[in-house]
A and B are shown apart, each in its own frame.
Chain A
Amino acid sequence: MKYYIAKRAINVLLIVFAVSIIIFLLIRLAPGDPAITMAGEHASAETLAQMRTKWGLDKPVIVQYFIWLGHALRGDFGQSILTHQSVLVELVQRFPNTLELSIFAMAFATIIGVLAGIVSAVKRYSFLDYTSMIIALFGVSMPVFWLAIMLIMVFSIRFDLLPTGGRLGVMYSIKPLTHLYLLDSLLELNFPAFLDALKHLILPSLALGTIPMAFVARVTRSSMLDVMSQDYIRTARSKGLNEKAVVIKHALRNALIPIITASGTEFAMLMGGAVLTETIFSWPGLGTYIVQAVSARDYPAVQGAVIFVASMVALVNLIVDIFYSYVDPRIRYE
């Protein structure tokens, strides 16, 4: 088992390394560069040349890559061209925002999705089945930003229940220890802030979690249907177990593998930052950070962010793989 994890860990490193080369080249292939983007109409040939030298952009690409790699291996992802801040510091500040939102969105997606999937599978071809699947289809088809604006207009403006965006109301202040506001406010025993942060999380999680929810629901449904037609389910029923025990203890437990795969994949994708949701709800997460960095051609920031995201995705996949063995003792890794 340990041997397997070690092998997988090395795999992750190789993937991240390959990603770093790819993104390094890709962002430099895009037309324009940070000097032009900043200078705009002020740009004359001399100013641009000066700016490029200051940022080391005049060296050949390969040289630039190895300079960057040398620093990165020592933990220094460089300075953002736009903000002059350390890229790593900025990423570490932004990531918990995305993490908190992703966790909540996935919680919503998994709970509702699995429930909907189970209900659909158990009461196949019933009204509930069709309704859940139509809602799932709706969730997957609606553009996220439209859904987000609709949620704001209904719950925030029309019914004045929830805030329109941001992470926290302006009158509250939380000492940022982990940057996960719910955790930090509890640690401070600041309950009003805790509730306010929670209120701010609801709408974005709903908007963001709708697509994963639909996906999880469908996977649950098909996986459950598959399992429920197995022989051992028939045996369990004939043994006299009540239906609830059959479904939950036996069927669901065995149907979990594909569901975990689906949830894990969706969660990994959410870690990359959900740009549209973050934009509408003014949620300062990784997604908007990356988009802004790309627009400004902020090479160090784009690289650092993409590698960070790639590592997170690979890590989540690794954890999901390890989790399998707890769910299904038959799975052993050689």
Chain B
Amino acid sequence: MKARKVLNSSNGRGLVAQARSEELQKSANKNQPRGGKSSMKRTLVVALVLVLGVSLLAGCKPVAKQPVTFVFAKGDAVELDPADVTDGESVTVMNNIFEGLVRYKSGSTEVEPCLATSWDTSSDGLVWTFHLRKNVKFQDGTPFNADAVVFSYERQRDPNHAFHQYGKWEYWGWCFSEIAKTEKVDDSTVKITLSQPFAPFLSTMAMFTMDVVSPTNCNQWKDQWFSHPVGTGPFSFVEWVKGDHVTLEKNPNYWGTEPQIDKLIFRVIDDPSSRYLALQKGEVQGMEFPNPTDLPKITQDSNLVVLSAPGLNVGYLAMNMGADTPGFQKPFGDVRVRQAINYAINKKDIVDQLYKGTATPAVNPIPPTLWGYNDAVQDYSYNPAKAKELLTAAGYPKGFKTNLWAMPVSRPYMFDPKAIATAIQADLKQVGIDAEIVTYDWGTYLKKTEAGEQAMCLLGWTGDYADPDDFLYVLLDSDAAKVGSAGNVAFYRNPTVHALNKEAQMTTDFNKRVELYKQVQQIVHDDAPWVPLAYATQTLVFAKNVKGFVLYPTGDYHFDTVSFETSK
């Protein structure tokens, strides 16, 4: 008892120490390895190590029979409803799951039948009747028919539609406001009535906004529909791990040509240099938008193939001709001054040095990949002497002072507006024009330029649908030159151009429209409201053994034609 007391108290250090060492002795004896127990422990440890080792190897070696998988590196999608998205990353995924009544021909801007086999227009151009393809099923097994088409379109247009509340449907307001109604005629016929004739309508119908969605699926998921897309396209949706990847797989019941890959995975890699690293390592087989500084290395890499083509965009310098706008300056009312500025700017240098090979110099307001491009138009050469001549003829031998507005943000058609503005400023100085660079935050910039507060400004446009109307009417028609909401920031009002644009909107004769738009481009060139600067190219990089990918001018990616070349 005494000993216990001593042990429990903290007095008497010496005794405590002694008792402790006795305890240590006892526990040491207990831990003395007895034959059986420790060898069992040892075997257990060895077994565990073996299991881990085997699974490590199992993880390293690829499984023998894998589905043919293609992995593409890009940014993350925002949502997966084709009618509600506004960003390119989401559209890319949509283009492989969904289809519309018509689509763009492979690698072109011309339209061909897709879910509709044919169509007729009424004589006044207001009623379009589409004959739908028969025996097509959605990926959830439900049939594709007129009801589905009506659902897909009316939910965007009609605020009273049951599904309208689940989306913002921005593109409907921007591009489809002339559609008055979509109606079912019978199971395979749909009638779309326009409020006014609009020839580009067929081109707009090829946009992702008009893809047909499964009504059954929408009604099942309601507001969560954005993460569970079901369409009629070559690939079905499997899963979307936000920020990580989107997985699609081959649609076995696809009505068209079966895709040659079984699994299509979009891997999210936001940083362009990281994409390149993953491509080098073989973790992905394709990627979009490499870093311009990585491009030289990529082109030298014999294991990679670079595909590039001008996109459906244009970057330009607009000169304000609107005498009724606050920013108007007298010199710009004279065509000689505007032409002089065209001659003064060294476009090629700007494209080579500042765009660093990611663009081609622009001649017309529409890019060369768009049908109707007038390649007979002669661009203004870089000729400062001629510029000075014209300025003197116009009455400005010593030049004049003005301002040049530049965007504060990087745009798809102009990576670094500030740098480009500085280069233009230097070019103009050479001919005596003293331009002060002005900038505002992006929202304010758009508002003010739409109100004509600038003398000259940089701007650009990425086409939504592949029709010259989307450029020539939206950006250069007098209808678009309303002070305060102008898309035509040069406030260029030419009645001939307007008449031509309007005629091209009314007639559905393709060849006639080509003629009309070619005339518009020549007139615009001669009047020089702009200095068209560049068409930004879209650049994609693929592994050498990837075959069959076609670059669409609209920037759509379609992977149903992609296959791997079997190794030699």
Contact yes or no, B59 A39, CB < 8 A: no
**B415 sits at the interface (CB 8 A):** no
A152–B168 alpha-carbon span in the complex (Å): 41
Contacting residue for B173 out of A50, A93, A279, A280, CB 8 A: A50
Contact yes or no, B244 A284, CB < 8 A: yes
Contacting residue for B281 out of A40, A44, A164, CB 8 A: A164
Contact yes or no, A31 B441, CB < 8 A: yes
In the complex with contacts A41-B446, A41-B461, A279-B270 CB distance below 8 A: yes
Contact yes or no, A165 B278, CB < 8 A: yes
Contact yes or no, A38 B86, CB < 8 A: yes
Contact yes or no, A192 B59, CB < 8 A: yes
A157–B301 alpha-carbon span in the complex (Å): 14
Question: In terms of DSSP, what is the predominant structure of the interface of chain B?
Answer: mixed
Contact yes or no, A166 B244, CB < 8 A: yes
A163–B278 alpha-carbon span in the complex (Å): 8
Contact yes or no, B59 A44, CB < 8 A: no
Contacting residue for B446 out of A36, A156, A194, A280, CB 8 A: A36
**Chain B residue with minimal CB distance to A152?**
B277
A51–B174 alpha-carbon span in the complex (Å): 12
A301 to chain B, nearest CB (A): 12
Contact yes or no, A289 B443, CB < 8 A: no
Contacting residue for B170 out of A38, A45, A280, A284, CB 8 A: A38
A285 to chain B, nearest CB (A): 8
List CB contacts (< 8 Å) of A38-58 with chain B: 38-47, 50-51, 54
**B1 sits at the interface (CB 8 A):** no
Q: Chain B, 420-448, contact with A by CB distance < 8 Å: what is the 0/1 string?
A: 00000000000000000000011110110
**A153 sits at the interface (CB 8 A):** yes
Which residues on the B side are within 8 Å of A160 (C-beta)?
A: 281
**B460 sits at the interface (CB 8 A):** yes
Interface range for A: 35 or more
**Chain B residue with minimal CB distance to A296?**
B78
In the complex with contacts A51-B170, A192-B59, A282-B270, A45-B443 CB distance below 8 A: no
A94–B283 alpha-carbon span in the complex (Å): 23
**B293 sits at the interface (CB 8 A):** no
**B71 sits at the interface (CB 8 A):** yes
**Chain A residue with minimal CB distance to B61?**
A192
Contacting residue for A31 out of B247, B443, B462, CB 8 A: B443
Which residues on the A side are within 8 Å of B79 (C-beta)?
A: 83-85
Contact yes or no, A170 B267, CB < 8 A: yes
List CB contacts (< 8 Å) of B36-79 with chain A: 51-52, 55-56, 58-59, 62-63, 66, 69, 71, 76, 78-79
**A191 sits at the interface (CB 8 A):** yes
Contact yes or no, B281 A157, CB < 8 A: yes
**A9 sits at the interface (CB 8 A):** no
**A32 sits at the interface (CB 8 A):** yes
In the complex with contacts A47-B173, A195-B59, A85-B243 CB distance below 8 A: no
Which residues on the B side are within 8 Å of A193 (C-beta)?
A: 59
Which residues on the A side are within 8 Å of B268 (C-beta)?
A: 282, 284
In the complex with contacts A38-B170, A164-B281, A192-B242 CB distance below 8 A: no
**Chain B residue with minimal CB distance to A162?**
B281
Contact yes or no, A284 B485, CB < 8 A: no
Contact yes or no, A284 B55, CB < 8 A: no
Contact yes or no, A33 B461, CB < 8 A: no
List CB contacts (< 8 Å) of B4-22 with chain A: none
Contact yes or no, B484 A42, CB < 8 A: no
In the complex with contacts A82-B78, A191-B55, A191-B59, A164-B283 CB distance below 8 A: yes
**A167 sits at the interface (CB 8 A):** yes
Which residues on the A side are within 8 Å of B269 (C-beta)?
A: 165-166, 282
**A77 sits at the interface (CB 8 A):** no
Which residues on the B side are within 8 Å of A54 (C-beta)?
A: 168
A36 to chain B, nearest CB (A): 4
Ranked nearest first, the 10 interchain pairs of A and B with the lowest CB-CB distance are A284-B243, A31-B441, A36-B443, A191-B55, A192-B59, A44-B485, A195-B59, A282-B269, A32-B443, A164-B278
Given A192-B58, A284-B242, output 6 extra A-B contacts at Cβ < 8 Å. A32-B441, A39-B170, A46-B485, A54-B168, A160-B281, A163-B283
**Chain A interface (Cβ within 8 Å of chain B)?**
31-33, 36-47, 50-51, 54, 82-85, 90, 93-94, 97, 149, 152-153, 156-157, 160, 163-171, 176, 191-196, 279-282, 284-285, 288-289
A-B contact pairs, 16 of them (CB 8 A): A37-B443, A43-B446, A47-B173, A83-B226, A84-B167, A84-B226, A156-B281, A157-B281, A164-B274, A165-B269, A169-B283, A171-B62, A176-B241, A191-B58, A284-B241, A284-B268
